[in-house]
């Protein structure tokens, strides 16, 4: 089955974290999440949920790696959190070892992924966050490559369940 772009809506940072947690539970070694969205759209907030869903106990460890460029968290699989905001481009990303990490056995999450399109693998899950109002965000999820179809399918199911 072909899945296009799915849209979810959250009405608070907590809801975005919960959404991320559901997504994180579905992720496996080698998965790559490309996050797109303006400043304050909620990318890092979503990452907090994703890492929690991947088994990291303390999500307070999650901060935008704007200055350190990359953070690593130990969940049930290693998680690598990139932030391309301050990078000049693809070469800067490669200089921090992105190629090896992204093609490795962890989960890679890249904020501002649209700034470094050349660093993305052939298949990845693209998540676009858009502010609708102060506390509302639209979360677009798109499977770029067939290997995320199952993740999307399950995400639809778990989000249609009653809490």
Ligand X SMILES: Nc1ncnc2c1ncn2[C@@H]1O[C@H](COP(=O)(O)OP(=O)(O)OP(=O)(O)O)[C@@H](O)[C@H]1O
- Choose from Mg ion, ligand X, none: what does 49 bind? Cβ within 5-8 Å by kind: none
- Choose from ligand X, Mg ion, none: what does 70 bind? Cβ within 5-8 Å by kind: none
d(CA 79, CA 148): 17
Please state the closest distance from residue 49 (CB atom) to ligand X, in A. 9
Please state the closest distance from residue 36 (CB atom) to ligand X, in A. 9
Q: What is residue 143's DSSP assignment?
A: E
- Choose from Mg ion, ligand X, none: what does 137 bind? Cβ within 5-8 Å by kind: ligand X
What residues between 82 and 121 interact with ligand X by CB under 6 A? 111
Please state the closest distance from residue 162 (CB atom) to ligand X, in A. 20
By CB neighbour count within 10 A (0-12 exposed, 13-18 middle, 19+ buried), where does 35 fall? Answer: buried
In this structure, the number of other CB atoms found within 10 A of the CB of residue 42 comes to 24
Residue 58 contacts by C-beta under 8 Å, 6 or more apart in sequence?
A: none
Does 137 bind ligand X (CB under 6 A)? Our answer is yes
Give 10 or 143: the residue with its C-beta nearer to ligand X. Answer: 10
Name the token pair of 62: 């999650």
Write down the residue that tokens 């790696």 correspond to.
Answer: 65
Does 40 bind ligand X (CB under 6 A)? Our answer is yes
Task: Give strand pairing partners of 139.
Answer: 8, 129
* Binding stretches for ligand X (CB under 6 A): 10-13, 15-16, 37, 39-45, 64, 111, 135-137
């Amino acid at each position: 089955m072909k899945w296009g772009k799915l849209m979810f809506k959250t009405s608070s940072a907590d809801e975005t974290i919960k959404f991320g947690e559901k997504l994180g539970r579905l992720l496996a070694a080698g998965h790559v999440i490309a996050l797109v969205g303006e400043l304050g759209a909620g990318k890092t907030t979503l990452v907090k949920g994703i890492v929690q869903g991947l088994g990291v106990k303390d999500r307070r460890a999650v901060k935008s790696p704007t200055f350190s460029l990359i953070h690593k968290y130990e969940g049930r699989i290693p998680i690598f959190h990139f932030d391309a905001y301050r990078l000049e481009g693809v070469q800067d990303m490669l200089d921090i070892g992105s190629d090896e990490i992204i093609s490795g056995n962890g989960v890679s999450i890249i904020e501002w992924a649209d700034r470094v399109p050349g660093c993305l693998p052939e298949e990845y899950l693209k998540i676009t966050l858009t502010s609708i109002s102060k506390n509302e965000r639209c979360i677009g999820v798109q499977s770029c490559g067939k290997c995320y179809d199952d993740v999307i399918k399950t995400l639809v199911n778990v989000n249609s369940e009653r809490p």
